[in-house]
Amino acid sequence: MTVKIESSWKSHLEPEFEKDYFKSLVSFLRDEYATKTIYPPGSKIFNAFDHCPFQKLKVVIVGQDPYHGPGQANGLCFSVADGVRQPPSLQNIFKEVQKDLGQPVPQSGNLERWADQGVLLLNATLTVEARKAGSHQNRGWEQFTDTVLQLVSDKKENIVFILWGAYAQKKGAFLDQQKHLILKSPHPSPFSAHSGFFGSKPFSRANQYLSSKGLTPINW
Catalytic positions: 65
Give the chain's radius of gyration (CA, Å). Answer: 17
What is the distance between the alpha carbons of residues 78 and 89, in angstroms, rounded to a whole number?
7
Nearest to 109 by CA among 135, 77, 86: 86
Cβ proximity of 59 and 218 under 8 Å: yes
What is the distance between the alpha carbons of residues 216 and 207, in angstroms, rounded to a whole number?
8
Q: Which residues contact 129 (CB under 8 A, 6 or more apart)?
A: 32, 36, 37, 38, 39, 68, 135, 136
Sign of CA dihedral 60, 63, 66, 69: negative
Cβ proximity of 48 and 120 under 8 Å: yes
Sign of CA dihedral 111, 115, 118, 124: positive
Report how far apart, in Å, the C-alpha atoms of 181 and of each of 58, 59, 158, 160, 172 are: 11, 9, 7, 5, 12
